[in-house]
Amino acid sequence: MTKVDILKLFKDMQTQMESTLALGRSSISHPGEMGEAAEESWRSWLRKYLPRRYCVDKAFVIDSEGNRSDQIDIVIYDGQYSYFVFKHEQVIYIPAESVYAVIEVKQNLNKAHIDYAGEKAASVRQLKRTSVEIPFVGGIYRPKPLHKIIAGIITIESDWKDPLGDTLKKNLKGLDEDHSIEFGCAIKHGSFWAQYSPQFRVHRSTADESLLFFFLELLKSIQTIGTVPAIDINEYAKVLPKGCSLHFKALTGVKSPDVIYWQITNTGDEARVANCLRGDFENPMKDLMGRRNLPQSTSYTGSHSVQCFVIKRGACVAKSKDYIINIR
């Protein structure tokens, strides 16, 4: 049996990432463009190697009361059970319930950048999150307790003489719970993972294993969180603006359903004039039929509804609540 040197694979990936970041640093003179290039390099790398159930984007995080976080360089969020993600004029808005981790990307690791990353993390953690019951064929799953959203910082190198030593520990230990930074990577010097309880400790990697340590600790932490809470869509659907994209997903415990029906009902003068009141089940040959995913847009003002029906052997065996979407 032929064996694979996993450590060597990660070291090769690290060398490639260092080269990509160094090229951007040397060829781009504008600080803003240099930062955006580094951010996109990390987002692309994480999209490539994280399991597909996790999505990676630059985004704002929002809650059901309309509050919004600072813009986050990297948001790792649920790609399997997130009922919707808002996209408005090329800007992405992610419900707070769906977020696993937030990461700030900088060129250098230092106190100012750790504090800045902490402020970004707090802007997400202080948002309201909902959690509701999940009906399934055998009963009801109770609302999932809210997890802590983990936060990190990624840089090329550390500004300190002892790159990940006592100065780093001092700055991490001084952060409160909302501003805490759990992990970081200074790819030239190593990575760290901070444990805040029951006793504060900082675990560090060597420089040549910085990417391996960073990735495996990140993956282990988000896998430990498990499934994100089920969003209370009615809280989000109280009022939405026109021009947003919505994405609904049907989650069911029914094994191998024959078809999934979506019923969309519009109200109001705008939908009436456009002859788009709808309300009936779509024809089985149309795109909306038989799909677990339902892309929609907030095109008309008024109070609208979305409901999902699961069909097996000619009978409706499960259905969702009637979700009300109010558009101003």
The answer to whether the bond into 198 is cis (omega within 30° of 0) is yes
Residue 236 confidence (pLDDT): 75
More confident residue, 1 or 157: 157
Nearest to 74 by CA among 52, 97, 51, 54: 54
Residue 33 confidence (pLDDT): 65
Which residues, other chains included, contact 29 with Cβ-Cβ below 8 Å and sequence gap of 6+? none
Residue 287 confidence (pLDDT): 46
- Our answer to whether residue 148 is catalytic in this structure is no
Catalytic residue among 104, 182, 217, 232: 104
State what percent of residues in the chain have pLDDT above 90: 39
More confident residue, 4 or 290: 4
Residue 3 confidence (pLDDT): 72
Structure tokens at 281: 């089940």
Alpha helices in 28-110 (DSSP H): 31-49
Cα 106 from Cα 109, distance rounded (Å): 7
Cite the beta strand spans of the chain per DSSP E.
54-62, 72-78, 86-88, 91-95, 99-105, 108-109, 134-136, 139-141, 150-155, 157-158, 183-186, 190-195, 201-204, 245-249, 259-265, 278-281, 293-297, 302-312, 315-319, 323-327
| Segment 151-179 mean pLDDT | 95
Q: Which residue has the tokens 């070291």?
A: 11
Instruction: Give pLDDT tens digits for 281-313.
Output: 754 444 444 567 778 888 888 888 888 888 888
Nearest to 183 by CA among 114, 134, 132: 114
Cα 10 from Cα 211, distance rounded (Å): 7
- Our answer to whether residue 63 is catalytic in this structure is no
84 pLDDT above the threshold of 90: no
Catalytic residue among 73, 78, 97, 232: 73
Mean pLDDT of the residues in the chain: 85
69 pLDDT above the threshold of 50: yes
Catalytic residue among 39, 106, 217, 232: 106
Which stretch, 16-30, 140-154, 275-289, has highest mean pLDDT? 140-154
Residue 82 confidence (pLDDT): 65
Instruction: Give pLDDT tens digits for 180-197.
Output: 999 999 989 999 999 998
* CB burial readout 33-46, b (16+ within 10 A) else e: ebbbbbbebbbebb
pTM value is: 0.72
- Of the listed ranges 66-70, 129-133, 280-284, the least confidently predicted one is 280-284
Which stretch, 66-70, 86-90, 163-167, 271-275, has highest mean pLDDT? 163-167
If phi over 0 gives left and psi between -120 and 50 gives alpha, with beta otherwise, what is residue 106? beta
Q: Which domains does the chain have, with CATH numbers?
A: 6-225 (no CATH), 237-327 (2.60.40)
Q: Which residue has the tokens 């800045």?
A: 116
State what percent of residues in the chain have pLDDT above 70: 87
Nearest to 97 by CA among 149, 45, 21: 149
- Our answer to whether residue 73 is catalytic in this structure is yes
Structure tokens at 113: 């950048």
- Of the listed ranges 121-135, 247-261, 278-292, the least confidently predicted one is 278-292
